[in-house]
Chain A
Amino acid sequence: MNKLPNIFVGIFVIFGSAWLGLVNYPLKNLGNLQPVPDEATGGVLPPTVSGLAVAGHKVYAANGCVECHSQQVRFAPLTTDIDKELGKRQTVARDYLREKTAFPGILRVGQDLSNYGARAGEDINAIHRHLYEPRSVNPWSNMPSYCFLYNVVKIQGQPSNEAVTGLTGPCAPKPGYEVVPTEKAKALVAYLLSLNQSYPLPESPVATAK
């Protein structure tokens, strides 16, 4: 007796149902999410990001940053993410609209980055210093150095106003030399600064009372 067609139908139905639920449903529902209008500024939420940040997103992907950094704030009270100030509200699917690829991540070998832009402040030089030599900022850090995104060049006349300053110890450039970020490093910093979910969304409002 040949029952192979029956097995085939069984397998097809089982795979098909999971495919409908986990592929087709997200595709039809989450895939069509649109930004919501922002009444305060007349713009949209999540805000659109600069072209430089889009380029930085590619640098983030190329160097496998997602292997250590998550980009998702889970909901309270099940988790303590909001208490630990990773963000003010839960990350929802619509937050990823700003990006070409969603990087929710599965490990926190390093810090969660969903609101890095909100934490980092305005000091771009400090971010470059961190990327160039993480242990010059946090001696305990096990983050790799991204010094290959920087050029060490001889100072010609006036020092470059883009040069990374404040580098000390073994990673400091020799006298007469300076560390200048490449386009990729500048894009990566722009991308990191664009990671900011402090705006409210209808499905995930920012908790006000605390």
Chain B
Amino acid sequence: MSNDLSNQPDILTAAERAQIDSSTSGAALLFFGSSAFWLVFASLFDVIGAIQLSYPCFLDGISFLTYGRVVQTATTVMAYGFATPAAIGIAVWLTARLCKVPLSHHRMLVSAGIVWNLGILVGACSILAGNSTSFALLSFPAFATPILFVSYALIAIWVLFTFNERKSGGLFVSAWFVFAAVLAFPWLFGTANALLVWNPVSAPAQPAIALWFSSGFFNLWLVPVGLAAAFYIIPKSTGLPVASSNLSLLGFWTLLLFGAWTGGAQIIGGPVPAWITSAGVAASIMMIVPALALGLNFHLTLDGHYAPVAWSPALRFIVTGIGCLVTYWILVAINSIPGVNAMTQFSDINRALYYLGHFGFFAMTAFGAIYYIVPRLTGHEWPCAKFISLHYWLAVTGFGFIVSGLILGGLIQGSALSQTIITFRSSVEFAWPFRVFAMLGSLLILASAVNFALLLIGILLETHKNQAPAFMAEREENSQEPVAV
């Protein structure tokens, strides 16, 4: 095994770990706490939008609650209010742990966190007030995004600075993913805002750039951070080394290589050069390679040791997230086959895939990471294991309802949209019951978000003096698995 990619996260003494963790706690808790707040906010708007889609009279005729603005607020706040701060919190904590140095410039990160949240507040209000750009995941108007960019620059500089200061030793695979993600985000966000929002380029060039951004935002920013957390926390909480460093390497490079090109598959037959859609289709199908390499690697790591998944909140959420990611990429590959796509392109399947990726994978993995990290920052355990279990089941049932409902409904709706003899009206009516089903899922997700926020408030305020770790099930007495450290 080469020295550059070790299979064990790190070898630190408990005292060193505690010192590193306490140095990151202020900044990381700020990012996690604000992400929980925005998660509840975004889920609430998601529910409003889901109800309006099936019952259009709900809150109808109010300018700032019109469906288009509500949905854009939900998706944009979910991406920048919840997902990105959660990713930043995870990345900051992981960077300090992986580089084995306590956090320096703590105030810079806390200021960045405050500025970031101000940016989200300004952005969300301006979408609702009618200043949206209407680009997917770029709806914040030109005066809100520079705030986010400045804040992010402070964070990225800190991360790169810490990588430079790191103690010698092999770079664990999580560090690769964090490093790639931290570089990818400003590249994507800066380019897309400069060309589409701040000083828009000529409209014919915009669709390709917008798709490059929206697919990159997921594949090159959220996915690498989620995987970095998984690669760190799975070995840490089971005591098992990552099964194969070659599979890690294969997964890492194929993810970056193909992930950056998948956007074109969303506009097959549309107004972009044909080679861009062909490249997008090829890349989307090739995403099966990182899906299998990463999925297999996690499976081989946990093979025969799946027992802790039952009682460890972090493991259960993360393993569910990885399962969703593999499913997501396989469905994306199938959906991008031109013959299939001709039918499914404008159907609810697009929304199903959005929820499966952003919620099923990223949010679940982030929840798992937060359940692992926060007790180490605060020095005390989660108040109530039953509540964590409830959060898990609400979230899983919620996105299960949404994804299954929208995939089934999308197939029927898409087939109606593509058949010449079926009227448009039928496509709306066929999709209706499935959208109602998905709406119930959105309600469950809102409940799970509130549940999660309450847990976070509970641990921050130390409502229960719980000394023992919160396990979701009885640990087997003869279990060989070491306690998470």
Contact residues of A with B, CB < 8 Å? 1-4, 7-8, 10-12, 14-15, 17-19, 21-23, 25-27, 29-33, 60-68, 70, 72, 74-75, 78-81, 83-84, 90-109, 111-112, 134-135, 138, 140-148
Contact = CB atoms under 8 A, between A and B. Distances in A.
Given A4-B171, A91-B270, A101-B134, A96 B428 contact: no
B3 A68 contact: no
Interface stretch (B113-121, B177-185, B388-396): B177-185
Q: Which 10 A-B pairs have the closest CB atoms?
A: A64-B68, A74-B269, A18-B260, A108-B346, A93-B204, A22-B212, A31-B205, A62-B130, A96-B203, A148-B63
Nearest to B266: A106
A26 B271 contact: no
Interface of B: 3-4, 52-54, 56, 60-63, 66-69, 71-72, 130-136, 139, 163, 168, 171, 176, 179-180, 183-184, 187, 191, 195, 200-209, 211-212, 216, 220, 253, 256-257, 260-261, 263-264, 266-273, 276, 279, 338-339, 342, 345-348, 350-351, 417-420, 424-425, 427-429
A105 B346 contact: yes
A27 B209 contact: yes
A177 B427 CA distance: 37
Contacts of A79: 269, 342, 345, 418
B269 A78 contact: yes
Nearest to A134: B56
Nearest to B255: A14
21 contacts: A4-B171, A11-B184, A15-B187, A22-B208, A22-B211, A26-B205, A26-B208, A64-B69, A64-B71, A79-B342, A90-B269, A93-B207, A95-B204, A96-B271, A102-B204, A106-B345, A134-B56, A141-B56, A142-B53, A144-B68, A146-B61
Interface of B (DSSP majority class): helix
B100 to A, nearest CB: 14
Contacts of B187: 15, 19
Contacts of A146: 61, 66
B203 A99 contact: yes
A100 B200 contact: yes
Considering residues A4, A30, A84, A147, which has the most beta carbons from chain B within 10 angstroms of its beta carbon? A30
A101 B203 contact: yes
Contacts of A96: 203-204, 206-207, 271
Given A23-B191, A141-B56, 8 more contacts: A8-B183, A22-B263, A27-B209, A33-B202, A63-B69, A74-B345, A84-B420, A106-B266
A142 B56 contact: yes
A21 B276 contact: yes
B208 A30 contact: yes
Nearest to B424: A111
A130 to B, nearest CB: 13
B163 A4 contact: yes
Contact of A66 (B134, B216, B427): B134
B136 A61 contact: no
Contact of A138 (B184, B419, B425): B425
B181 to A, nearest CB: 10
Contact of B56 (A11, A17, A143): A143
Nearest to A146: B66
B356 to A, nearest CB: 15
Contact of A144 (B56, B216, B268, B347): B56
Contact of A140 (B200, B203, B338, B429): B429
B271 A95 contact: yes
A140 B350 contact: no
A132 to B, nearest CB: 9
A102 B134 contact: no
